[in-house]
Amino acid sequence: MPKRKHPPRPDNAPCPCGSGLNRERCCGPFLDGTALPQTAEALMRSRYTAFVEGHTDYLLDTWLPRTRPPLLELQANQQWLGLSIRATSGGEVADEHGEVEFVARSRIAGRGVRLHERSRFLRVDERWYYVDGDFPG
């Protein structure tokens, strides 16, 4: 499975997830493997950043094994434009389940794409995993 190659982002660059924090204070430690997201929303944001930066290993590692595909191929010509969190339910530090509704915008071959998903997350052994999602509307 080929990984997309992206130029490295400086740690002090704004995090692609749109949190307003620098990458080093937001999703960077999760993608670098030095910390685990403590909430479902933090995992959602880090997964978006993984899509932006082409970290397929991280995306598969944070996907619940029983619902995870055997491989994941990212679109080489996809340019991610932004993430908007619409709503969260549960998914806090003491929860076992959580939902995050989001809209992720991208461009593929010059065409705008809008992904609106309500994602489900499960915390297993103190670690959050993406389970699956629905596409509202």
pLDDT tens per residue, range 88-117: 999 999 999 999 999 999 999 999 999 999
Q: What per-residue string of b and e applies to 88-120 under the rule 16 or more CB within 10 Å gives b? A: bebbeeeeeebbbbbebebeeeeeeeeebbbbb
Q: Is pLDDT above 70 for 1? A: no
Let me know if residue 90 belongs to a domain.
yes
- Of the candidates 64, 66, 67, the residue with the CA atom closest to the CA atom of residue 96: 64
Let me know if residue 55 belongs to a domain.
yes
Q: Is pLDDT above 60 for 4? A: no
Domain of residue 122, residue span: 23-134
Let me know if residue 122 belongs to a domain.
yes
Separation CA 102–CA 118 (nearest Å): 6
If one counts the domains in the chain, the total is 1
Let me know if residue 81 belongs to a domain.
yes
Let me know if residue 28 belongs to a domain.
yes
pLDDT reported for residue 8: 54
The answer to whether 42 touches 71, Cβ cutoff 8 Å, is: no
- At 29 the three-state DSSP class reads helix
The answer to whether 9 touches 31, Cβ cutoff 8 Å, is: no
Separation CA 41–CA 96 (nearest Å): 13
Q: Residue 114 corresponds to which tokens in the numbers above? A: 């809008």
CATH number at residue 108: 3.10.450.50
Let me know if residue 10 belongs to a domain.
no
Side chain identity at residue 68, one-letter code: R
Q: How confident is the model at residue 12 (pLDDT cuts 50, 70, 90)?
A: confident
E-strand spans in 4-77?
A: none
pLDDT reported for residue 32: 95
Cα–Cα–Cα angle for 52, 105, 40, rounded to 5 degrees: 65
pLDDT tens column, 26-76: 999 999 999 999 999 999 999 999 999 999 999 999 999 999 999 999 998
Let me know if residue 14 belongs to a domain.
no
Let me know if residue 79 belongs to a domain.
yes
Side chain identity at residue 106, one-letter code: S
